[in-house]
A and B are shown apart, each in its own frame.
Chain A
Amino acid sequence: MSEGPLSRLLRRVRGVRSRDDERFLLLHLPASLTLLLVILAMLGVFIAYSIPVMSREGFHVFTDTTWRAVEGDPQAEWYGLLPAIYGSVYTSLIAVLIAAPLSVSLAVALEELTPRRLRGSLSLLTDLMAATPTIIYGLWGLAFLAPHMYPILSWLSSHASWIPLFSKHPSSGYTIATAGVLLAVMSTPFAAAVIREAYSMIPLSIREAAYSLGATRLEVIRILLGMVKPSIVAGLALAFARAVGETVAVSLVIGNSMTITPSVTDSGVTVSSLIASQFGNAGFYHYMTSALFAGGLVIFAIGLAVNVAAVWYMKKWEEKVMGVAP
């Protein structure tokens, strides 16, 4: 049979040896192309929709703090996303700082300290935590966390206002701190799952060696945690990326005010909560929809950068463990 150019191209894929294989590959390519098309479409849409505001304001849309929506007068409109970008990064950093000790402890407790009988039900609980819809977390944040954070935050701001973190007296429980705590609760099971997976991959011989030298349980845990350090970093990076993209839960507890403040007791805004709260009205203005898509482009870029870095870091660690394993 003659070999066409398509056939020659398909044969270059590893695992394709016969006509049958060629047909098989050809039949499955559309599914893969769909995924590629989705990513390209997303990128295309965000760039295309950001152009109106970008061509008017340039990069000021990312660095300006003014948010001026004027109906019927496009020339008076001006949109600066900096407070929202700042809020996204700030709340996510708070979330990761809180989630770090929680997720490491959760992973260690599940892998090392939980009796075998309890392990099943406890890991079911953490699975459920990861599977619980974000709107449910938002509901809890709105109805329970925010009202209960308020007295704590107002006590802190009246007794420790010399610390910039608590410089502003909270006007309600809907603050940057509340959003940070809620995001920490939501992202802990994801970070813990990444750490757990790496922790369980450590060869038993290393644990045995440590115990045989007379190490206490805590010392063994410390040694093992030292070995999975990159997975901790990667897990927390994934948690950070998730926190940046989280929308409904944050928009219910952050208070949605366009300010840049170091004070966690003040209300704030994130890019995604800004999109969620403003998108419905954006049609009344000429440039607002475009500005919100430009905001989407920012979380697109942050998410992609953090994910790529985390995957790269994990790969490095896997190579290291392969070197350690017998």
Chain B
Amino acid sequence: MPRSLRARKLENAVGLAVIVALAIASVLPLIHILYMVIVRGVEAIARIGLYRFLTEPPHPFDPQNPGGIGPALVGSLELSGLAIAVATLIALPASVLIAEFRGSRISRGTLLLALTLVEFPTILVGLTVYAVLVDHVVGGYNMLAGAVALTLVILPYMAVQASEALRGVPEGVREAAYSLGATRLKTVYALIAPAARRGILVGILIGLARAAGETAPLLFTVGGAYEGYHLCLYKVGGAVPLMIYQFIQMPYKPAQDLAWGAALVLMTIIVGVMLLARLLVKEVKIL
């Protein structure tokens, strides 16, 4: 016997309400996280002033003059900049290979490798780089190892993202170029890649956001030194996320305040990069 219309309407209303409530519940934590990072971060930064917070080294044990996150910020810029540059140089040809030889075993294999690496726990990447670069090549924590670890974390994501952007370019572009006698190299890098530039750029931006925010790949690679500016690639250094992780575990108020201030700086960078990516394309894929 069919159920009455009224019962079904009631069920519909209750069911939809539950779905909406659960959906709201799933985004509430983020809103509270943003709120907390802003409130505590502003409090920590206001104590010393934005400029000094961004440029001075930290004094985690000194309540009178807690200092800032200068060295960590410069370290993060160095690591992310290097990682983005190297990852782009490898991810772009890899994505061209995936997109240009569609249907071939090489293309499918490369895509499968990239997709597998995307989902790999980043702590394993950090341990691998530790074993090779820290344990064997350099013989101590170093910034180069951190940059390599971050490169390996963002490289597969960027390759997948760029290959999807390249695939969206209409075949007509290629046919027109070939009919004019252009080589394949010229066709791809002078016409097809520029046509897909927005998608590729979004991949680079999300890669940048990840490189700036990842902690686990840096745990056993860069070491964590914040007293002065350490830019040498073969020596220890620091980064903002690693500094947050280490300072929040210290039982000192100034250290924890520094961590919250650093978190606000980090979140500002992430939100800025995300907004920029959103301006370029409608749908941003973070997987």
Contact = CB atoms under 8 A, between A and B. Distances in A.
Contact of A140 (B36, B273, B284): B36
A122 B27 CA distance: 9
B93 A27 contact: yes
Interface in B17-43: 18-23, 25-27, 29-33, 36-37, 40
B97 A31 contact: yes
Interface residues of B, number: 93
Contacts of B40: 143
Interface string A170-194: 0000000000000001001110111
B278 interface: yes
A303 B30 CA distance: 26
Given A35-B156, A132-B270, A241-B119, A102 B30 contact: no
Nearest to A36: B113
B104 A248 contact: no
A57 B15 CA distance: 54
Interface string B170-181: 000000000000
A131 B266 CA distance: 12
Contacts of A35: 94, 110, 113-114, 117, 155-156, 159
B22 A238 contact: no
Contact of B124 (A125, A126, A300): A300
Contacts, number: 269
A273 to B, nearest CB: 10
A269 to B, nearest CB: 14
A14 B102 CA distance: 8
A105 B100 contact: no
B122 A247 contact: yes
A128 B269 CA distance: 12
B121 A32 contact: no
A167 B285 CA distance: 42
Given A144-B36, A300-B124, A135 B131 contact: no
13 contacts: A14-B101, A31-B93, A105-B21, A105-B23, A133-B212, A135-B213, A136-B213, A136-B263, A139-B37, A217-B12, A218-B12, A221-B15, A293-B131
Interface of A: 13-16, 20-21, 23-25, 27-32, 34-36, 38-39, 41-42, 45-46, 48-49, 101-103, 105-106, 108-110, 113, 122-140, 142-144, 185, 188-190, 192-194, 216-219, 221, 238, 241-242, 244-248, 252, 272, 275-276, 279, 292-293, 296, 299-300, 303-304, 307, 311
